[in-house]
Amino acid sequence: MAKDVWGSLLRGARARYAFVSKTLVILGEPGSGKSTLVRQLAGSADARASVPKESSGPLGFGFLELNEDPHAEERLRTGVYTVHSADASVTATLPYAFPPVEMAADATAVAALRRLRESLFVIALDASQPWAMVPQLVAWLALLQRLVAQAHASGCHTDADTVRAAMRAHIEELVGSSSETHLTDNLGVPLVFVLTKADAAEALVAEQRMTEAQWDYLQQALRTVALRFGAAIFATTQSRAPSYNGVRAFIRHRLYADAELPGVSIPACDLEPVTADVSRLCILPGWDSWAKIEAVHESFSCAAWSEAFSRDLAHPGPGAQAEGPPTASQMARDRVPAPEYDTEDEVPSIDVPPYETFLETLPMPSGEASDAPRLSIDTLRAPVRNALGPSMHASTLDMPAVGRAMEEQAKELPGPADPGTPGRVSKRTDDVRSPSVTTPKQTEVLHSFFQSLLKKPASPGSAPHTPSARLQQRARRRKEEGGI
């Protein structure tokens, strides 16, 4: 019987590098800061440099280690899946992040519920585009709602209400029981809302593109949704690196607090809540309440917003509910509208015509139009001859080529007649130094240059074909000494 070599190798590797497998899922639209968030969650600069690059495709995959102690025996290696868009063609691959995957009757993939509960979902919201935060949040939560519902409907023996009740009990155990947590409608999976590029909040207010009242409204809306689904809220920015430490601590505690890991201690997540500044938001699940949220502005109603969000989840997508009470997306769009496109700042587009069209518009050269050849692409690409031969694009003009070109340019000119032979024409053999009157001007310059190179350089201070000044001085000195 053949030995299972590969199986033994894998079991040995598993024994040497044992770790508890957890899953972190990053959801966000393109440009929302997902890759930066993953790198910063790795921890130190050395750890960020060792984070492997995510695989290409609609469902990117990588991993990071969330160990607080780098010398710990057990490695908290966490798989990281990244969903780059809420488009249906991309999100269809999300169930494959939770094996074992089952196939439904309609040939759609169904995720494993147990792996879903062992995962943590992070929704990245770009604070530099606050008008798009609520619609994106609706789209991602509607997707997770369908994902969890399909997992429950695939024949799982655990009832969905039981899972939600366990989720509520777990959150209340983390932060202490509260009578106003409103977690009855949670999804049964841990959630985190991360406002990336949080420094854009101050910039938008300084540029008068948004007001502080609009940011307060968005903060109250996010806190109401987070309270309903048992999610944590964090604000991060690259200009403030410690802002990522709270997200990392919460993720590590939420994933591995209940895991039995010998030799590994998971520190408690005792972060201080921050609600006064939207760029530094830090709210743990279960800490908030409707009374605290409505205290920011009394005009905001958590009950009305929660009902509008329920209508939005029931009919996600723009224009899905044209009549009836407004949805959360419509309410957010009325309070925080998207900036109108300024036509004055629009850069005019320049249409570049094809080469053939451009050449046809060129003016004809002087002379008869019928005799002049028209320009074309083939004409431009063909080697062009000039006074010295082919163009530099076709071949180089080395020394032999220059010599041959000059010989072609040299023509016989009438010279002085020899005695006794009137009318005899002499060939240009020894009078090459005088340029021809028919030679172009460029040829004269090049001709003179090469002839100067052929001459013997004369010594400075002396005339050509004469002894140098130093030899003349020596001769005069000898004559004077001989005369004495």
| DSSP symbols for 31-70 | TSSHHHHHHHHT-SHHHHHHSPPPPSSSEEEEEEE--SST
Q: Taking residues 47-76, what's their average pLDDT?
A: 69
Q: What is the pLDDT of residue 440?
A: 53
Distance, CA of 232 to CA of 269 (rounded, Å): 12
Inter-CA distances, 195 with 57, 171, 209, 278, 299, Å: 25, 22, 18, 9, 24
Measured CA distances, 277 to 225, 248, 281 (Å): 18, 20, 6
Domain extents for the chain? 20-335
pLDDT tens sequence across 28-52: 999 999 989 988 888 766 666 556 5
Q: What are phi and psi of 65, to 5 degrees?
A: -110, 125
| Collapsed DSSP state (helix, strand, coil) of residue 291 | helix
Residue 292: is its pLDDT beyond 50? yes
Q: How far, in Å, CA of 305 to CA of 225, rounded?
A: 9
> Per CATH, which fold does 20-335 belong to?
Rossmann fold (3.40.50)
With 60 as the cut, is the pLDDT of residue 379 above it? no
Percentage, residues of the chain above pLDDT 90: 26
Q: Report how far residue 60's alpha carbon sits from residue 26's, in angstroms, rounded to the nearest whole number.
A: 10
Is the model more confident about 391 or about 202?
A: 202
Question: What's the pTM value of the predicted model, to 2 decimals?
Answer: 0.65
Please tell me the predicted confidence (pLDDT) of residue 281.
93
What dihedral do alpha carbons 291, 295, 298, 301 form, nearest 10°? -40
Q: Give the pLDDT confidence of 241-282 residue by residue, as tens digits.
A: 889 999 999 998 888 877 776 667 777 788 899 998 888 999
Angstrom distances, CA of residue 460 to CA of 182, 455, 464, 476: 103, 15, 10, 20
CA distance 92 to 110: 10
How confident is the model over 141-164, as pLDDT tens digits? 999 988 888 887 775 555 566 666
Among 20-29, 57-66, 70-79, the range scoring the smallest mean pLDDT is: 70-79
Give the model's pLDDT for residue 330.
Answer: 92
Buried/exposed 439-461: b ≥16 CB within 10 Å, e otherwise: beeebeebbeeeeeeeeeeeeee
419: left (phi over 0), alpha (psi -120 to 50) or beta: beta
CB 28 within 8 A of CB 86: no
Q: What is the structure's pLDDT at 391?
A: 45
* Average pLDDT across the chain, whole number: 74
Residue type, 211: T
- Span 353-359, mean pLDDT? 75
Contact 152, 160 (CB under 8 A): yes
Query: Would you call 155 helix, strand, or coil by DSSP?
Result: coil
Q: What pLDDT score does 476 carry?
A: 77
